[in-house]
Amino acid sequence: MDGWGGMVLAIEIFLLVAGWLLFQQAKTELTARMAQVPVITEIKELKRVIATMLEQLKVESSQISTQLEVRCLEARELINALDRKIDEVQRLPVKSPSRRRSTVPEPHEEPSPIPPAAITDNEASSHQNGNPRHAEVLALNKKGETTATIAQRTGYSVGEVEMILSLNSNNG
């Protein structure tokens, strides 16, 4: 018997013991009443009520046992499904969290930014019509920001920032 079956059996035993204790309490109360007033019909009614209660307890414990067994099966199925998903995820190749991959490896040392004087206001405004993020790169460079800072703020890689700045200086 597995752990859940044992738990269900323990619950059933607990419910039967509770019923027996209720029966004993009712029996004690009945004995006290009989000392005061001899009422045989009341005793019979009380026995019938107790028997009904015990039957209800048995039915309810059986229903609870069935529900627990069903939920245990559902839980096992969910756990198995989760295990399969975890195995699938672990077999997937690890993807880089970066937005894009640069084909050129990025250097470890920070290159110096293109001098701000190399970019004119006309060049920056002409790029705003094409790609506003390119204009943002040019504007940040004009303010003297480093390529790493520009890359971090715009979401481009350092190599992409250098390429945008290089293309812009070539066009000028």
- Residues 14 and 85 reside in one and the same domain: yes
Which helix (H) or strand (E) segment holds residue 41: the answer is helix 40-91
Torsion of the alpha carbons at 93, 97, 99 and 100, rounded to the nearest 10: -50
**Structural domains counted in the chain:** 2
- Residues 126 and 53 reside in one and the same domain: no
- Residues 70 and 10 reside in one and the same domain: yes
Tell me the whole-structure pTM to 2 decimals: 0.29
- Residues 79 and 122 reside in one and the same domain: no
Question: Domain limits at 151?
Answer: 116-171
- Residues 13 and 75 reside in one and the same domain: yes
Instruction: Tell whether 96 is covered by a domain.
Output: no
- Give the separation between CA 169 and CA 165, rounded to whole angstroms: 6
- Residues 71 and 127 reside in one and the same domain: no
Residues 76-127 have pLDDT tens digits of: 999 999 888 888 888 887 655 555 544 444 554 444 444 444 444 444 444 4
Instruction: Tell whether 105 is covered by a domain.
Output: no
Instruction: Tell whether 137 is covered by a domain.
Output: yes
Residues 93-105 have pLDDT tens digits of: 765 555 554 444 4
